Chain A
């Protein structure tokens, strides 16, 4: 539909107005506060040994959690959008649950299962594997909280696109994998891209659950969000904002990376 000009301007104003109030002003304030004392101070703040370690740890955890959840997401999305099977509605609802539970409780639930006195913790300890208060625990918590995104982004797109092309490919003799690779995957590209973007943003921004399971050992299990909180506690607001700027940079970088591949059409060029 081609929207008439007055409508277009009207929608733009309302939409951008809402965004300005809710997003642009707060984010602008954050950037202002970050660079208030100059870029030099920010640089010094994000190159302390603790900050560098936190940055590496956050990236490391994200680099493990996101691909796993993407794989899960695509498989589950295919099953939800294309198949009919018992329990689909329930599974559908369970997928959204990781959010509804308070992050502190997520952390505690992981301790209940993998902690020293937890269900699996004892056995794991005997095998020499420490999950809680160590990096694997942080990874588990991060996977937990970022689970739904790729599924949720890809499923509606799969439904929208429909399986006509896939059926056509099948009639032409393409096998399952080829069909997936050359027909399905390109059609869900934007869903996957935005799903990854949201997942990464969630992983790097996670605080509550990680705070409980990490043990906050400086230089070992301290992620960027934990570093922000520590700096805040120590009245180092400038440092807290600087570390947040790093997080913002990672989020922006992910979006740029995922949307850099432009489609051939002019449409949807964001």
Chain B
């Protein structure tokens, strides 16, 4: 016979399972007692937002804000967050999306080529951008190794973490920044590649799969400095991670894109307008993203945030994304792919 004790435990567990299945209506909000943004049965329209992972915390605030406005009152939301490349590929493979936002332009171009996003997506006043950022150095609290410049990264014994640009498209920005600063914004490719080669071969012990994992690796005790985005550092700090960050004087401007899809309802445009408006852009600024709204940006700068690195350069100066992808990041022939393979050989026993 089943012992009393075991019987009680089994019944308790079954009750718990039944309770969860029958009672509690699930929803999309992931905060305790949070409101469900999906809109339930009242929504006249539902917008599907497919985004890359980091700005989830910001959209968790922006979406309810939008739903309090006249334009957003009857709009329900379905949201999906994940790695930029994965999300873009999912939309290409059929994931329903009305508004998309990614951290690299190739992820948007993929959808343009697939006919999902209109080619005119970046002919807007903000050139298709929703926010920008810069590549920064994430260091231990107090910056014990005094890492301030790109040359500091090449000091003997300094270990640099950066995610693998082949498994994380968004991590390409880091190496582009490294290349760009050494090549004087693309004018001296030899010097640029030489720097990247030295960095990867001698100073990068591992390349984690994604930015978030690289940060985990860093906070887990590995490495002296992590290459990342300014807003990832500030978001991490706001969430209690014990890190500091330094914006080097030479760095690349990171563009974050946003667009609506061809099949999106009119509400998508209204949501886009809202995201680019002052209240939403202020939300972004609070989390460390550089807003594209001029007023909000000016106000933040006046408070001392978002300093302008004197040597700021853009991906256009390096040749634009398609050129860069082919030249550096092609899996077989790209120069950075070669550097990585060679580095593998030199570190293999």
**Complex partner residue of B96 from A50, A133, A232, A233, CB under 8 angstroms:** A133
Q: Hey, which chain B residues are within 8 Å of A45, CB to CB?
A: 32
Assess A49 versus B212: contact at CB under 8 Å? Given A56-B20, A56-B21. no
The answer to whether B124 has its CB under 8 Å from any CB of chain A is no
**Complex partner residue of A49 from B21, B25, B90, CB under 8 angstroms:** B25
The answer to whether A115 has its CB under 8 Å from any CB of chain B is yes
Assess A253 versus B13: contact at CB under 8 Å? Given A49-B36, A217-B80. yes
Shortest Cβ distance from residue A51 to the other chain B in the assembled complex, whole angstroms: 7
**Complex partner residue of B79 from A212, A218, A234, A257, CB under 8 angstroms:** A218
Report yes or no: B17 in contact with A253, Cβ–Cβ below 8 A: yes
The answer to whether B322 has its CB under 8 Å from any CB of chain A is no
Q: Mark B14-53, 1 if CB is under 8 A from A, else 0.
A: 1001001100111111111110101000000000100001
Report yes or no: B2 in contact with A51, Cβ–Cβ below 8 A: no
Report yes or no: A48 in contact with B30, Cβ–Cβ below 8 A: yes
Shortest Cβ distance from residue A266 to the other chain B in the assembled complex, whole angstroms: 13
Give Cα A249 to B17, complex, Å: 10
Assess A215 versus B80: contact at CB under 8 Å? Given A116-B93, A235-B236, A260-B10. yes
Report yes or no: A219 in contact with B90, Cβ–Cβ below 8 A: no
Q: Mark B256-282, 1 if CB is under 8 A from A, else 0.
A: 000000000000000000000000000
Q: Mark A29-69, 1 if CB is under 8 A from B, else 0.
A: 00000000000000011011111111111011000000000
Q: Hey, which chain A residues are within 8 Å of B20, CB to CB?
A: 52, 55-56, 59
The answer to whether B78 has its CB under 8 Å from any CB of chain A is yes
Report yes or no: B36 in contact with A257, Cβ–Cβ below 8 A: no
Shortest Cβ distance from residue A260 to the other chain B in the assembled complex, whole angstroms: 5
Report yes or no: A52 in contact with B93, Cβ–Cβ below 8 A: no
Q: Hey, which chain A residues are within 8 Å of B239, CB to CB?
A: 234-236
Report yes or no: A132 in contact with B9, Cβ–Cβ below 8 A: no
The answer to whether B57 has its CB under 8 Å from any CB of chain A is yes
Give Cα A239 to B240, complex, Å: 14
Q: Which residue of A lies closest to B53 (CB)?
A: A233
Q: Hey, which chain A residues are within 8 Å of B94, CB to CB?
A: 115-117, 121, 132-133
Give Cα A172 to B85, complex, Å: 65
Assess A219 versus B10: contact at CB under 8 Å? Given A234-B239, A235-B240, A261-B2. no
Report yes or no: B26 in contact with A230, Cβ–Cβ below 8 A: no
Report yes or no: B32 in contact with A44, Cβ–Cβ below 8 A: yes
Shortest Cβ distance from residue A37 to the other chain B in the assembled complex, whole angstroms: 12
Q: Which residue of B lies closest to A221 (CB)?
A: B80
Report yes or no: B79 in contact with A217, Cβ–Cβ below 8 A: yes
Q: Which residue of A lies closest to B2 (CB)?
A: A260
Give Cα A215 to B78, complex, Å: 11
Report yes or no: B96 in contact with A48, Cβ–Cβ below 8 A: no
Give Cα A111 to B31, complex, Å: 32
The answer to whether A227 has its CB under 8 Å from any CB of chain B is yes
Q: Hey, which chain A residues are within 8 Å of B32, CB to CB?
A: 44-45, 47-48
**Complex partner residue of A218 from B21, B81, B212, CB under 8 angstroms:** B81
Report yes or no: B240 in contact with A219, Cβ–Cβ below 8 A: no
Report yes or no: A215 in contact with B90, Cβ–Cβ below 8 A: yes
The answer to whether A105 has its CB under 8 Å from any CB of chain B is no
Give Cα A233 to B25, complex, Å: 25
Assess A133 versus B21: contact at CB under 8 Å? Given A48-B34, A49-B26, A230-B81. no
The answer to whether B95 has its CB under 8 Å from any CB of chain A is yes
Report yes or no: B78 in contact with A218, Cβ–Cβ below 8 A: yes
The answer to whether A216 has its CB under 8 Å from any CB of chain B is yes
The answer to whether A95 has its CB under 8 Å from any CB of chain B is no
Give Cα A239 to B30, complex, Å: 10
The answer to whether A12 has its CB under 8 Å from any CB of chain B is no
The answer to whether B187 has its CB under 8 Å from any CB of chain A is no
The answer to whether A185 has its CB under 8 Å from any CB of chain B is no
**Complex partner residue of A52 from B24, B31, B54, B86, CB under 8 angstroms:** B24
Give Cα A133 to B92, complex, Å: 12
Q: Hey, which chain A residues are within 8 Å of B30, CB to CB?
A: 48-51, 218, 227, 230-231, 239
Report yes or no: B95 in contact with A215, Cβ–Cβ below 8 A: yes
Shortest Cβ distance from residue A52 to the other chain B in the assembled complex, whole angstroms: 4
Give Cα A211 to B27, complex, Å: 19
Shortest Cβ distance from residue A120 to the other chain B in the assembled complex, whole angstroms: 13
Q: Which residue of A lies closest to B78 (CB)?
A: A217
The answer to whether B308 has its CB under 8 Å from any CB of chain A is no
**Complex partner residue of B7 from A50, A249, A260, CB under 8 angstroms:** A260
Report yes or no: A53 in contact with B27, Cβ–Cβ below 8 A: yes
Q: Hey, which chain A residues are within 8 Å of B29, CB to CB?
A: 48-50, 219
Give Cα A55 to B56, complex, Å: 21
The answer to whether B82 has its CB under 8 Å from any CB of chain A is yes
The answer to whether A159 has its CB under 8 Å from any CB of chain B is no
Report yes or no: B80 in contact with A216, Cβ–Cβ below 8 A: yes
The answer to whether A187 has its CB under 8 Å from any CB of chain B is no
Shortest Cβ distance from residue B68 to the other chain A in the assembled complex, whole angstroms: 19
Give Cα A45 to B30, complex, Å: 8
Report yes or no: B93 in contact with A234, Cβ–Cβ below 8 A: no
Q: Mark B222-254, 1 if CB is under 8 A from A, else 0.
A: 000000000000011001110000000000000
For the complex of A and B, the 10 pairs showing the least CB-CB separation, nearest first, are A53-B26, A219-B28, A49-B27, A116-B94, A235-B239, A50-B30, A253-B13, A218-B28, A44-B32, A52-B24
Q: List 13 A-B contacts (CB under 8 A).
A: A48-B32, A49-B34, A50-B28, A52-B25, A117-B94, A132-B93, A133-B96, A212-B86, A215-B96, A219-B78, A233-B53, A253-B13, A257-B14
Given contacts A56-B26, A233-B81, A235-B236, 12 further A-B contacts (CB under 8 A): A49-B29, A50-B29, A51-B30, A55-B20, A55-B26, A59-B17, A59-B21, A117-B93, A217-B80, A235-B239, A250-B17, A257-B10
